[in-house]
Amino acid sequence: MNKNLEDDGGTDEKPVCKECGSTDIHTDYTRGETICSNCGIVISFRNIDQGPEWRAFTNEERNKRSRVGSPSTFTVHDKGLSTMIDWHDKDAYGKKLTPKRRAQIYRLRKWQIRTRVHSSMDRNLAFAMSELDRLSSQLGIPRGVKETAAVLYRRAIEKKLIRGRSIEAMIAAAVYAACRERKVPRTLDEIARHSRVNRKELGRCYRLILRELEIIIPMASPVDFIPRFGTELILSGRTQQKAAEIVKLAREKGITAGKDPTGLAAAAIYISAILEGERRTQREIAEVAHVTEVTVRNRYKELVKELNIRVEV
């Protein structure tokens, strides 16, 4: 019973109301309805609660009452399927264990931790997934991209592509490939800056993954970078839309071929910000886009000349 809610395709994005485009959606669990807070439309009704039958008001209560483990995920070396011996030292009835039983459970717990990563592949995956966690956190990428990167890395292990190469470089390359595949705007330089490998090694591992895993990645578009750069520069949606229109016109005229998409996005934002009265300096835009001011100027001159845009600098 859901006709007014846009499907997010399994990503981490918030649901969007088809009537007004708002993301302010809330659920009335008593009535079983999902409602848009902006326009008031009932998006879905007769919803089935997929949650547990018990209620908890604190994290401690939730942990005590939960009878299941965490969901399976490729971002954990054992895919989240293993269980852990609890540290509370209590039996099924909540009573404290005897000292003798506690000592026995302590030894079992210690051996369980040791055996979780008993093989070389498990140790490799455990280190790789911890590096993926760190890199994903610093880059601020969505969970779906992180899952894709984990799958790519596991496929690389199956193909024996890791041998002779650093785990950090292959994880960084998998993250970059996942970002490109899921159209999340992150540049090679940006990922190299946050990883522990240089740009050259990262690029080499990225090309290896594409070639050996037979992955076809679409060309990065300058339009994909505009919302992110515009948000960091605190520009209005109108200015960002204008920049996207400039890029589309440039693509139609063949100006974008062979050009760095981040430089083109930066130049388009520079032009649109001037036209819409939200002027930003070339230095500000260059810092956000991680390109040089010279690149912004060169792309700006090309766009203004080829598209016949009149700009008062």
pLDDT computed for residue 50 by the predictor = 63
Q: Which domains does the chain have, with CATH numbers?
A: 5-44 (2.20.25), 78-116 (no CATH), 121-212 (1.10.472.10), 222-307 (1.10.472.10)
pLDDT computed for residue 123 by the predictor = 83
Q: Are 234 and 291 in contact (CB under 8 A)?
A: no
Residue-wise pLDDT tens digits, 244-273: 999 999 999 888 888 889 999 999 999 999
User: What's the rounded mean pLDDT across residues 19-29?
Assistant: 76
Rounded-to-integer distance, Cα 92 and Cα 168, Å: 42
Rounded-to-integer distance, Cα 230 and Cα 118, Å: 48
Residue 2, pLDDT > 60, answer no
Structure-token pair, residue 190? 């940006």
For residue 310, give every residue at least 6 positions away whose Cβ sits within 8 Å of its Cβ, in sequence order, or none. none
Residue-wise pLDDT tens digits, 167-191: 999 999 999 999 999 888 888 888 9
User: Between helices 222-232 and 261-275, what is the axis angle to 10°?
Assistant: 50
- 109: confidence class by pLDDT, cuts 50, 70, 90: confident
Rounded-to-integer distance, Cα 137 and Cα 128, Å: 14
Count CB-CB contacts under 10 A for residue 250: 22
Residue 3, pLDDT > 90, answer no
Please report, for residues 68, 69, 105, 180, 282, the alpha-carbon distance to residue 81 in angstroms, rounded to integers and kept in the order given.
Answer: 11, 8, 21, 29, 51
User: What's the rounded mean pLDDT across residues 190-206?
Assistant: 92
Residue 220, pLDDT > 90, answer no
Provide φ and ψ at 213, rounded to 5°. -95, 0
Rounded-to-integer distance, Cα 124 and Cα 150, Å: 12
Structure-token pair, residue 44? 């879905």
pLDDT computed for residue 229 by the predictor = 93
- 56: confidence class by pLDDT, cuts 50, 70, 90: low
Residue-wise pLDDT tens digits, 263-312: 999 999 999 999 999 999 999 999 999 899 999 999 999 999 999 888 77
Mean pLDDT of the chain: 83
Is pLDDT larger for residue 160 or for residue 41? 160
Rounded-to-integer distance, Cα 301 and Cα 288, Å: 20
For residue 76, give every residue at least 6 positions away whose Cβ sits within 8 Å of its Cβ, in sequence order, or none. 129
| Element housing 42 (H / E) | strand 42-44
pLDDT computed for residue 74 by the predictor = 80
pLDDT computed for residue 70 by the predictor = 63
Residue 14, pLDDT > 90, answer no
Rounded-to-integer distance, Cα 265 and Cα 258, Å: 14
- 83: confidence class by pLDDT, cuts 50, 70, 90: low
User: What's the rounded mean pLDDT across residues 31-38?
Assistant: 77
Any alpha helices (H) in 117-253, and if so which ranges?
120-139, 143-158, 167-181, 188-194, 199-212, 222-232, 237-252
Rounded-to-integer distance, Cα 261 and Cα 120, Å: 40
pLDDT computed for residue 10 by the predictor = 43
- Kindly report whether the global pTM for this prediction surpasses the value 0.85: no
- Max CA pair span of the chain: 84
Residue 232, pLDDT > 60, answer yes
pLDDT computed for residue 245 by the predictor = 94
User: What's the rounded mean pLDDT across residues 147-171?
Assistant: 93
User: What's the rounded mean pLDDT across residues 119-130?
Assistant: 84
Residue 143, pLDDT > 80, answer yes
